[in-house]
Structure 1
Amino acid sequence: MKRMKVSKDAYIEKNDTDLLKRMSFRYLPYWPLFLAAVIVSFAVGLVYLEYTAPIYGVTASILVKDEKKGLDDSKAEDALNFFGEKKIVENEIEVIHSRSMVSQMVTHLYLYAPIEEKSGFIYRTVHLPVSVYRSAYLTSPVQIELEKPEELHYEVNRVKFRYDAHTQTVITSNATYPLNKWTASPWGRIRFSKNPLATTSVPSKTFFFSLVSLPKATNEIQNNLEVSPTSKLSTVINISYKDAVPARGEAIINELINCYTQASINDKAAAAANTLDFVEKRLKLSGKQLDDVEADVQSFRTANGIVNVSQQSNQYLQNVSANDQKISEMDIQLSVLNQIESYVLSKQSQPGLVPSTLGIKDPMLTQLLDKLYEAEIQYEKLRKTTAEENPILLSVKNEIAKIKPNVLENVRNQRNSILAAKDKLVATSSHYNDLLNTLPDREKELAKISRQQNIENSIYSFLLQKKEEASLAFNAAVAGSKIIDKAQSSAQPVSPRAWLICLIALVLPIVFVSFSIDAREFFSNKVLFRRTIEELTVLPIIGELGYKRSKEMLVVRKHSRTAITEQFRSLRSSVASSLLKEKGKVIMVTSSMAIEGKSFVAINLAVVFAQAGKRTVLIEADMYKPKLSAALHLNDETGLSDVLETDQPSSILESCIYRTATYNNLFIIPAGNAPSNPSELLMNSNFDILMKELENQFDIIIIDSVPINPVPDAYTICKFATLTLFVVRHGITPKEKLLIIDEDPKMQDLKNVHIVFNGIRRRGIATSGFGHSYGYGHNGKEGYGYYGHQRAKTVLS
């Protein structure tokens, strides 16, 4: 015989298809729950989008002149920038983001006194309206200023007020405040002024103002403020801020840049002012000395009638004048060196303004002083933004400590050099004095006075030049940074994003419901899946029965083609095959508990055997809680207990076997009158006689036994059974009951045990039919070939 050809791809597993099937099998039955969760999630998302203020992103950028990254001033700026400092981008970022800088900006913009207005109501689950507030930065007619905001150490939350435009007053519940005047209030001296940004005004509209402590307002701004370089090699700093009001965000960044720029200018102006003050003091002293010398010259000429001196005297005076000028410059240099030395020795590692190096031409000293100044400025900035034990701060402090000895050594070396040169000049001056002795006494006296006049005049001219330079530097102080882009807000909100909220509203409920389904099934201690039975015990599953909603026990009827009927017929085929292999006819039905449906399985299995033409007898061996008698309308009839209690069981056996009215081949032995000792009755010899008689009369014997726990009757009856059907009910039988089946030694006494999985429900919500979502049985309530009365078809032969 030729075998049918099979495609070579017939057994290739497609992972993607299998995964989709597994997901559909697991979650699709719960589609109404998923749909409801998604709808609720979208509703929550829409409410969130409706009542959440959109957040806009505001950005700006500035250029910092960092010598380490190749950026320097232009020649024109460098000529005016006598006291310019070199900046490091990383340090400037910390300065911009520092508490002191942000606090200064908060004070300037009055951000510690936000004003709000109502924007509507939302309703919570308790159906109480809850007010929603939004910022009135652009709609409030007034703005609020505290005289000493740093002294406010508590919060004032939403004080109601309104503005009266006719009387120019602000009215609260407790007081009335005039406009543009400092007034005492419970929160300190306060002033209300017109808001220059107000675009619209509604008469008598109610607003709410709050007062926040300066540290808290500063921290809130710092948390939303980001300052970062564009790249590692760039000197451009990006400043970004997020705010619900774009205009307020732009004002915050612009004011922060202004505060930073002004602080840089103030540092340079302070250095120039220090030098200017020093020069002006020297100018006053030199001017007084020059006036005294000129008065002496004039007095001498007048007293002695001298108008001109000889050519020799002129040459002498020129030489002496040049020599004395050099000595005077050296005196100034010594004075400057003394001041520098005094500065270094007196500061004790405290930052301050380095004195001017007027007249000192040594580039090494100038460079050391510049480094000292930059290090002290950096130390001062870092001390404001970092802790005392910060490694960077300690490094800068150590650098200052290393620079100062070098400055002192350089100063002392230069002093020694200048003193040596001065000694030589003094010796030369002595030589000129000797020459002066050869001149006439009057010319000699005049030459001395004129020489002093030239000296003072040269000193005065030199100081005037330095004063002009310092004045120019003071008035032309420029910042060490340049604004590239002013603050500008984004056209669209950066938060919340509608597409992201919609995506979350779609994904989150699906994930949550899926997790809930998995968690519910994973943590359940009840048997829910066939695979659970297969994992917990080695006993085979002989049949599966769907869940019935009705409480009626007998569900198999004549000419019935329902799904549950077909399942019992399928169970009948499996049981009959097992009985044929074992060459027996006795079936015992038991379970672990009383509510798992053993009686339901026993009576309907007996019906389908009777429908197949088998003489079937159903024994109601559960004398504790008999149910079969009531289902077949047998009340107060003699039964099993009467047979077991009599001395001649054969004589009354026929009277205890009842034929059912519906099925001619189905007979039943009811439990009979309730005995006081069911276990002992089942152990006597009458039960052996009963079973032998029934085996001779019937084709199938079905015993509805008691559960295996807590009474041992099932183990007493099991010796007569050819096949034991152990009923496990979906969602009822605990998993631990299955675990003990393989471990309990008494279970070994049961013969040929097979499991019937009973009461299988469909997974999910708003579903019908039996067990399709578990992969078992039929998908509908109707069996194969069943059409109902309206759709009946003729079967053609």
Structure 2
Amino acid sequence: MKDRYIDREDEIEVESKSSDNKALHQFIGRILANWYWFMLFGLLGLSVAYFKARYSIPSYNIRAKLLVSDDKKGGGPTGGSALGELSGLMGTKSSVDNEVEVLKTRDLMREMVLVEKAYISYFHVGKVHNVPVLESPYRLELLSSADSIFSAIEIKIKVLDAQRILLSHGTQSKEVAINQAFTWNGVGVMLLTLAHKNVELEEEYGVRIVPLRTAIADLMGRLSVSVTNSNVSTIDLTLIHQVPERGEALMHSLISRYVERNLHDKNVVADSTLSFINARLTKITEELSGVEDRISGYKQSTKLADITEQSRILLENSAGYTKSIAEVETQLTSLEAITSYLSDTSNPRVVPSTVLSQDGTFAALTTKYNELVLQRERLLLANTEANPLVQNITMQIAGLRKDMIDNVASTRRQLELTKNNQVELSNRVTSQIQQVPTIERGYIDLARLQQIKQAQYVFLQEKWEETAISRTANVSNSKVIDSPKADASPFAPRATTMYAVGLILGLAFPMFVLWLRELLNVRIRNVDDIERYNELTVLGMIAHSEEQGQVVVTKTSRSPIAEQFRAMRTNLEFALNGGKTILFTSSMSGEGKSYVALNLAVALALLDKKVLIMELDLRKPSITAKLGLPSGKGFSHYIVRPDMRVDEIIMPSGTHENVDLVQAGAIPPNPAELLIHPRTQQLMNELAERYDYILMDAPPVGMVTDAQLLGRYADLCLYLVRQGYTYKEQLRIPNDLVRNDKIKPIQLVVNDIQAKGGYYSNYGYGYGYGYGYGYGDYGQMGKKKKWWQFYKRG
């Protein structure tokens, strides 16, 4: 059992490999059989690719590289320098990822488009297509706003004379004067000038104008900004453009706008801080001058020249507390100023971040607050306050303002506690000083006030100097390390790639057609279709015949089709197994029952056998007409006339001396009843004694039941299937007849097989026994189809 199981597995594996090889052979055979179509469409695909590559406008990559000062990676122009330490004063921290997003913004691209007028481009009118050019003999200037452009147009320009130019767009045309403004619907007011006087009249140029949004979207789609290496803070920019010089100019302009915007943001924060410090310095200077005047006057009025040693010690102690109180009051004053900035909710302003103690939480909130205020101001340049983006940022600013006010309040409480402690200590010293003479105590009060004002003045002066230095040393966060430059060769179109694609598509088209034909085909085309839908034995296969006559089998014929009938005759001896009555039927009319019956009858007669053909298609008889015989008495006459003898209905067929014919006779109104009449059985018994073979030509079994009724008299039923004619689903009919015991046994005969090349061209038509095309030693070669008959049926 184990060995048998192993053998079965080997058998399955062999069958699987054979099936795979057969499918591969079929695929290759179909390609080889239709090689001319693949060659034709392959050449056509290459031709299309050639013209596409020849007349396509090349596109170039314009590349640039920026180095960004990233705090996380320590790169950039100011990293590691003294100025880099001061960069924190502005609250300006950069990240390479943030800068990438800034470079991708529509606002930045809009600035570049407006500056470079990228919504206007020029082209040279060619015979095949328009070629973009960098310069044109004409210059078009849009006098109205760029936002007035509503639709994209291409205007062709033609010189009429020295003062007039003809503009045309589709069916619309207009004559305009040079250097004179004119209006174009959908665009606005424009002015056309000549770049130089010598303009060739034969050369025709044009200008393309697109809406501002379209130009921005187009350039953003062609711009690529990426960080190719995560270990360094460099940004790679790539712009696709058909005019390399124009693309380089656009890239330069984009980088310039980006650098200017970066410096502008830094300078806004610095200028706001300087303005705040200047206002405070002016006020503190006035207060300090007043205190110094009071001290000078006090000394003059009291004639105070020296201070005792006790006063010196008390003053030193008092000075320490006074300095601490002064520092706290300075910070409280700064908090009041910050609070006044934050209290103005109607017009958010940039908050200075360098006048407070270095509180990390407040510094982070201030940096975020200033960024949102600057972003809001940029959006208000092109939008109103009702814009959802502006409202969203305003809400974020309000939230940050609340957090900052809470932080300031918390800081204020801490400073007030510190101040109260210092005041308490100072009061203790003051109580001791009260024992000093009144004049000296008055001087100490004035000196303390002077120290407070002087400390505030020095603090603000230092901050002003630091901010001014930072303002002067402001540089952009990015540096161009690789200027915009177009590649030497275009990246598209690539001729090699286009040729490969053209060839692949060209070869794929006929393959797709073959696959589609196979998919949509519902008729029998090859042996695989028969094997897929059928479980019955195939007795023989008959090739397509180009001969005009109905009988192709003769004593001397050696044609392939005659040999196929002889092969079928040999197979028939085994199929009959001693019987002699054969029934011919099919699924529908036109599948060749009469043709096969006549030729098989002659093939049997060549063995010196007596053969009778019975024309039992009582509804639509055709054998008599095909043989060219006159109509006479036949089967229907014999059945309805009891006095008629068998010899009266038998006649020579004219095809062979051993082949006789029984005609159908008059077409009866009840053919089914005649076929099961008792005289029919009597007739069949008498004919069986006279003849070696009886061939009954019956109606199609798929239409009427006559063939099923005749099946009771037959030893074998031959079911005709015609290639390219019989439907695949109709193969289920004979299988159902056998399965339901309506007609048994049934074997198939495949008729009208046409050799179309490929895997089946040398398969043979005898199902292993016959001869196919190519066996010239056995007869005349059949006529092959011409190559242009690829889609025709034989």
> What range describes the TM-score normalised by the shorter chain of this pair?
0.7 to 0.9
2:81 is aligned to 75
SS in 2 for 1:664: coil
The residue type equivalent to 1:174 in the other structure is K
Quick one: distance in 2 between partners of 1:656 and 1:487? 102
1:503 is aligned to 500
Give how far 1:273 is off.
0.7
Within 5 A, what are the aligned runs for 1:171-190? 173-174=173-174, 176=176, 186=185, 187-190=187-190
User: Quick one: structure 1 residues 694 and 185, their matched pair in 2 at CA, closer, same or farther if it must change by over 3 Å?
Assistant: closer
Quick one: distance in 2 between partners of 1:213 and 1:557? 85
The residue type equivalent to 1:559 in the other structure is T
Moved more, 613-622 or 25-34: 25-34
Deviations 1:721-746 (A, max 9, x none): 22111101122222332223333589
Give how far 1:449 is off.
9.5
Deviations 1:271-323 (A, max 9, x none): 1111221233334445556777888999999x99x9x9846599989979978
Give how far 1:459 is off.
6.4
Give how far 1:100 is off.
1.5
Give how far 1:256 is off.
2.4
User: Quick one: structure 1 residues 297 and 535, their matched pair in 2 at CA, closer, same or farther if it must change by over 3 Å?
Assistant: closer
2:704 is aligned to 711
For structure 2, the 5+ residue unaligned runs are 1-9, 380-386, 782-794
Quick one: distance in 1 between partners of 2:368 and 2:603? 101
Give how far 1:343 is off.
3.0
Is 2:100–2:235's contact at 8 Å kept on the other side of the alignment?
yes
Give how far 1:482 is off.
2.3
Within 5 A, what are the aligned runs for 1:718-797? 718-744=711-737, 748-763=741-756, 778-780=771-773, 784-786=777-779
SS in 2 for 1:260: helix
Is 2:523–2:728's contact at 8 Å kept on the other side of the alignment?
yes
2:410 is aligned to 409
The residue type equivalent to 1:575 in the other structure is L
1:529 is aligned to 526
SS in 2 for 1:114: strand
1:657 is aligned, of 646, 651, 659, to 651
For structure 1, the 5+ residue unaligned runs are 1-7, 122-131, 789-797
SS in 1 for 2:778: coil
The residue type equivalent to 2:591 in the other structure is E
User: Quick one: structure 1 residues 785 and 241, their matched pair in 2 at CA, closer, same or farther if it must change by over 3 Å?
Assistant: same
Give how far 1:597 is off.
0.7
2:242 is aligned to 244
Quick one: distance in 2 between partners of 1:713 and 1:329? 123
Deviations 1:677-701 (A, max 9, x none): 5444444444444434433333222
Is 2:30–2:758's contact at 8 Å kept on the other side of the alignment?
no
The number of residues matched between the two structures is: 751
Within 5 A, what are the aligned runs for 1:583-732? 583-650=578-645, 652-653=647-648, 656-658=650-652, 660=654, 663-675=656-668, 677-732=670-725
Quick one: distance in 2 between partners of 1:626 and 1:20? 45
Give how far 1:601 is off.
0.7
2:213 is aligned to 215
Quick one: distance in 2 between partners of 1:433 and 1:681? 154
1:135 is aligned to 132
SS in 2 for 1:119: coil
2:280 is aligned to 282
1:128 is aligned to none
Quick one: distance in 2 between partners of 1:730 and 1:370? 89
SS in 1 for 2:524: coil
Deviations 1:97-127 (A, max 9, x none): 1222222222222122333332323xxxxxx
Quick one: distance in 1 between partners of 2:178 and 2:468? 45
1:373 and 2:377 equivalent? no
Within 5 A, what are the aligned runs for 1:250-261? 250-261=248-259
Within 5 A, what are the aligned runs for 1:298-377? 310=305, 312=307, 332-346=330-344, 352-358=349-355, 360=356, 362-363=357-358, 365=359, 367-377=360-370
The residue type equivalent to 2:627 in the other structure is L
2:787 is aligned to none
Is 1:95–1:381's contact at 8 Å kept on the other side of the alignment?
no
2:269 is aligned, of 268, 271, 277, to 271
The residue type equivalent to 1:244 in the other structure is Q
User: Quick one: structure 1 residues 460 and 708, their matched pair in 2 at CA, closer, same or farther if it must change by over 3 Å?
Assistant: closer
Quick one: distance in 2 between partners of 1:390 and 1:511? 56
Give how far 1:770 is off.
8.2
Quick one: distance in 2 between partners of 1:357 and 1:618? 119
1:85 and 2:109 equivalent? no
User: Quick one: structure 1 residues 34 and 632, their matched pair in 2 at CA, closer, same or farther if it must change by over 3 Å?
Assistant: same
Give how far 1:774 is off.
11
Give how far 1:571 is off.
0.7
Quick one: distance in 2 between partners of 1:527 and 1:563? 22
1:154 is aligned, of 131, 150, 155, to 150
Quick one: distance in 2 between partners of 1:432 and 1:774? 134
Quick one: distance in 2 between partners of 1:108 and 1:750? 91
User: Quick one: structure 1 residues 668 and 380, their matched pair in 2 at CA, closer, same or farther if it must change by over 3 Å?
Assistant: farther
Q: Percent identity, aligned pairs only?
A: 27
Quick one: distance in 1 between partners of 2:258 and 2:439? 68
The residue type equivalent to 1:62 in the other structure is L
1:487 is aligned, of 475, 484, 489, to 484
Quick one: distance in 1 between partners of 2:770 and 2:135? 69
SS in 1 for 2:125: strand
Deviations 1:306-348 (A, max 9, x none): 9x98465999899799788887766544322211233345459
2:66 is aligned to 62
Quick one: distance in 2 between partners of 1:586 and 1:87? 101
Moved more, 11-20 or 245-254: 11-20
Normalised by the length of structure 1, the TM-score is 0.79
User: Quick one: structure 1 residues 100 and 499, their matched pair in 2 at CA, closer, same or farther if it must change by over 3 Å?
Assistant: same
User: Quick one: structure 1 residues 284 and 118, their matched pair in 2 at CA, closer, same or farther if it must change by over 3 Å?
Assistant: same
The residue type equivalent to 1:274 in the other structure is S
The residue type equivalent to 1:601 in the other structure is V
User: Quick one: structure 1 residues 426 and 501, their matched pair in 2 at CA, closer, same or farther if it must change by over 3 Å?
Assistant: farther
Give how far 1:406 is off.
3.1
Quick one: distance in 2 between partners of 1:118 and 1:585? 86
SS in 2 for 1:478: coil
Give how far 1:85 is off.
0.8
The residue type equivalent to 1:615 in the other structure is K
Deviations 1:67-103 (A, max 9, x none): 2344472313325534251123333322221222222
2:47 is aligned to 43
Within 5 A, what are the aligned runs for 1:504-519? 504-519=501-516
2:564 is aligned to 567
The residue type equivalent to 2:155 in the other structure is V
Is 1:547–1:770's contact at 8 Å kept on the other side of the alignment?
no
Is 1:354–1:369's contact at 8 Å kept on the other side of the alignment?
no
2:35 is aligned to 31
The residue type equivalent to 1:657 in the other structure is M
Q: CA RMSD in A?
A: 4.8
